[in-house]
Amino acid sequence: MESVLTLNMKEKLNLLKSKALQEISSANSFEKIENLRIRLLGRKSGELTLLFQGLPKLPLQERKEAGQLANEIKKSLEQALLEKENYLKKGGGKVSKNWLDVTAPAILPPIGHTHPLTRVINEAKDIFRYLGFTSVDGPEAELDEYNFQKLLLHKDHPARDVQSTYYISEEVLLRTQTSPMQIRYMERHKPPIRIISPGRVYRRDAIDATHLPGFFQMEGLLVDDQTSLTHLIGVLTFFCKRLFGENVKTRVYGHHFPYTEPSIEMEVYHEKSKKWLEILGAGMVHPNVLRNVDIDPEVYRGWAFGMGPDRLAMIRYGIDDIRHFYNGDLRFLEQF
């Protein structure tokens, strides 16, 4: 220290610079850099700041030169501090655990989104909610009685063969359709009734591009004293226009289901594959189904439908293989 006192201003400045640069180069944390910045350049008592304060006392010529030098040194120290900081930010040296760079861009957690099938089901629910239908849930393990018998599919009925069934016991099975929800709901509610019931159903089908042993259905049921087949077709056509757009082409033809009379199926024209695709079965609820749940078919009529959300989604998104919906491949899912 003795010798420093005897140095002139320029020498003091140069000495400060070389010591400071050395310290900056060996500083290995953001804290150390920040401490150095304060110690050297701090506004009130930084070492360089103090030297600046001595400048006005110098004779004019020396003051000019020393002033210039002091400014240069200030710049090069600032520069060195900044460079060292960037070096540390890029992972150079050891980063202190306590350092938090609040200016760094935020890292967002990965956020998922609804599955395309869920989305179609939600849209379908919205359309029917708009028409006054309530959505209800039911059990996937169902009684044979509800899945078949009360829908007029008795134990020896040939139409049972179409829906090869997973039985849990003699009386309990994995529902093959959402239609048992018609029975469950009508048993507990009196008309007027307007419900939909989306959910999973199960069939012992071999897996291929259009079949899986588990898939979705959405049941619909309306019971009132004034309704008709044309009302049913009108509602279904409205639904298709809402879901697929005003220009969608639909067609309806006669069919057979044990629990409806008359029965129909509806198809939608799939522009991409230039094919008509069946999306639902429907019909006027059979009077005996109404009798099974103590609703008088002389007073009330009903209609019902069962549609396939997997089908709807395939048409909506132009997907040709149902398995894409279920194998969880992110490359597929992230497109939606």
Tell me the C-alpha to C-alpha distance, in Å, between residue 167 and each of 94, 156, 164. Answer: 64, 15, 9
Conformation bin of residue 93: beta by default, left when phi > 0, alpha when psi is -120 to 50: left
* Minimum distance from residue 163 beta carbon to ligand DAH (Å): 7
Min CB(236)–ligand DAH separation in Å: 11
Among residues 197, 227, 260, 292, which is the contact residue for ligand DAH, using CB under 6 A? 260
Size of the site for ligand DAH (CB under 6 A): 11
Residue 262 CB, nearest approach to ligand DAH (Å)? 10
Tell me whether residue 179 or residue 227 sits nearer to ligand DAH (CB atom): 179
Interior CA angle at 227 toward 257 and 201, to 5°? 35
- For β-strands 214-224 and 141-143, DSSP reports them as unpaired
Specify the pairing of strand 193-202 against strand 134-135. parallel
DSSP code at position 93: S
Distance between CA 74 and CA 48 in Å, rounded? 7
Backbone angles phi, psi at 138, to 5 degrees: -145, 175
In this structure, are residues 140 and 168 in contact, taking their beta carbons and an 8 Å threshold? no
What's the min distance (Å) between Cβ of 320 and ligand DAH?
21
Judged by CB under 6 A, the chain residues 267 through 306 that form the site for ligand DAH are 281-283, 304-306
Q: Which is nearer to ligand DAH, 36 or 266 (CB)?
A: 266
- 60: number of Cβ within 10 Å: 7
Residue 136 to residues 105, 126, 188, 247, Cα–Cα distance (Å): 45, 13, 13, 30
Q: Does 144 bind ligand DAH (CB under 6 A)?
A: no
Virtual CA dihedral for 189, 192, 196, 201, nearest 10 degrees?
A: 50
Give the residue from 282, 273, 286, 256 showing the smallest Cα distance to 314: 273
| Dihedrals phi, psi of 30, to nearest 5 degrees | -65, -35
Cβ nearer to ligand DAH, comparing 17 with 286: 286
How far apart (Å, rounded) are the C-alpha atoms in residues 188 and 190? 7
CB-based contacts of 253, cutoff 8 Å, min separation 6: 264, 265, 267
219 binds ligand DAH (CB under 6 A): yes
Q: Which residue is nearest to ligand DAH (CB)?
A: 306
Closer by beta carbon to ligand DAH, 116 or else 306: 306
Amino acid at 45: S
Q: Which of residues 303-332 bind ligand DAH (CB under 6 A)?
A: 304-306
Among 30, 133, 244, 257, binds ligand DAH (CB under 6 A): 257
Site string for ligand DAH, 21-40 (x = CB under 6 A): --------------------
| Shortest separation between residue 172's beta carbon and ligand DAH, angstroms | 19
If the CB atoms of residues 46 and 302 are measured against ligand DAH, the closer one turns out to be 302
Query: Which CB sits closer to ligand DAH, 152 or 172?
Result: 152
Q: How far is the CB of 280 from ligand DAH (least distance, A)?
A: 7
Site string for ligand DAH, 173-202 (x = CB under 6 A): ----x-x-----------------------
Q: Give the helix ranges, DSSP H, for 104-191.
A: 116-130, 144-147, 180-188
Contact 195, 220 (CB under 8 A): yes
Structure tokens at 65: 């030169």
Which C-beta is closer to ligand DAH: that of 227 or that of 260? Answer: 260
Q: Taking the complex as a whole, how short is the minimal distance between the CB of residue 316 and ligand DAH, in angstroms?
A: 20
Interaction with ligand DAH in 49-68: which residues (CB under 6 A)?
none
Shortest gap between Cβ of 245 and ligand DAH (angstroms)? 24
Tell the smallest beta-carbon distance from residue 203 to ligand DAH (Å). Answer: 9
Where along the sequence are the contacts to ligand DAH (CB under 6 A)? Answer: 177, 179, 219, 257, 260, 281-283, 304-306
